[in-house]
Chain A
Amino acid sequence: QSALTQPASVSGSPGQSITISCTGTSSDIGAYNDVSWYQLHPGKAPKLMIYEVTDRPSGVSNRFSGSKSGNTASLTISGLQAEDEADYYCSSFVSGIWVFGGGTKVTVL
């Protein structure tokens, strides 16, 4: 069981917005802006989508945004598209190692 908790699945219709949560503790997510998000498509290299809670790497669509409230970080996908269907993982530095959340499967209905 990961130290970072994510919902197993989230779904939405094309054009809608969805939000994926990543819950840690006051010692990790709550204390630092050290959260990143990754998109995994089967058979492809995982892709960095968000870093430092809110920042987008060059080339990542502005439909992807990050935020944090207390011990929970969130990834929001706006204007959901079929190509967004994938697994998403949050990550942070927890108790001396890098930890990933359990992953959230995003389904586009």
Chain B
Amino acid sequence: QVQLQESGPALVKPSQTLSLTCSVSGGSINSGAYHWNWIRQHPGMGLEWIGNIHHNENTHYNPSLRSRIVISINTSKNQFFLNLSSLTAADTAIYYCARRYCTANSCSLFDPWGPGTLVTVSS
């Protein structure tokens, strides 16, 4: 059973860069069937898709964040990463990692997810 776990700092200062890691266990990240995603939830608000990466390192980013994000992958460590730069208080959120895959009619299956990590941007 594949499991995902986010890790990283709980508190970061404005203007700094957030670096998060998603560790994948119970299955290989090096599969062409999956895309590896970052999603966030601002306090009391809805979910926002940040972007994803494939094992071949192809990425797809949310245009609203594209100028500030880099998603990378290390297949030998079964991990993928999020770097989000120029942080502001508006980046305070729970950050989730999730695997996404397709069926015959849909590519919107996010499963499984990690439990999420709360990141607060504050001086």
The answer to whether B111 touches A34 (Cβ under 8 A) is no
Chain A residues lying within 8 Å of B104, measured Cβ to Cβ, are 52
Chain B residues lying within 8 Å of A93, measured Cβ to Cβ, are 107-108
Chain B residues lying within 8 Å of A45, measured Cβ to Cβ, are 4, 96, 112-116
The answer to whether B62 touches A97 (Cβ under 8 A) is yes
A34-B49 in contact given A47-B113, A57-B111 (Cβ < 8 Å): no
Interface: B105 (CB within 8 A): yes
CB closest residue in chain A, given B96: A46
Chain A residues lying within 8 Å of B49, measured Cβ to Cβ, are 97-100
CB closest residue in chain B, given A95: B63
Q: Determine the distance from Cα of A98 to Cα of B107 in the docked complex, in whole angstroms.
A: 9
Interface: B76 (CB within 8 A): no
Question: How many B residues touch the partner, as a band?
Answer: 20 to 34
Q: How distant is A86 from chain B, measured CB to nearest CB, in Å?
A: 13
A91-B111 in contact given A97-B62, A100-B46, A102-B46 (Cβ < 8 Å): no
A34-B47 in contact given A44-B115, A46-B96, A47-B113 (Cβ < 8 Å): no
B88-104 interface with A by 8 A CB criterion: 96, 98, 100, 103-104
Residues of A participating in the B interface, judged by any CB pair closer than 8 Å: 2, 32-36, 38, 40, 43-48, 51-52, 55, 57, 89, 91-93, 96-103
A-B residue pairs in contact (CB < 8 Å), sample of 15: A32-B105, A34-B105, A34-B107, A36-B110, A44-B115, A45-B4, A45-B116, A46-B96, A48-B111, A51-B108, A52-B105, A91-B110, A93-B108, A97-B63, A98-B110
> Which 9 A/B pairs are nearest by Cβ-Cβ distance?
A100-B47, A48-B111, A98-B49, A34-B106, A45-B113, A46-B113, A102-B46, A45-B115, A52-B106
Residues of B participating in the A interface, judged by any CB pair closer than 8 Å: 4, 37, 39, 41, 45-49, 60, 62-63, 96, 98, 100, 103-116
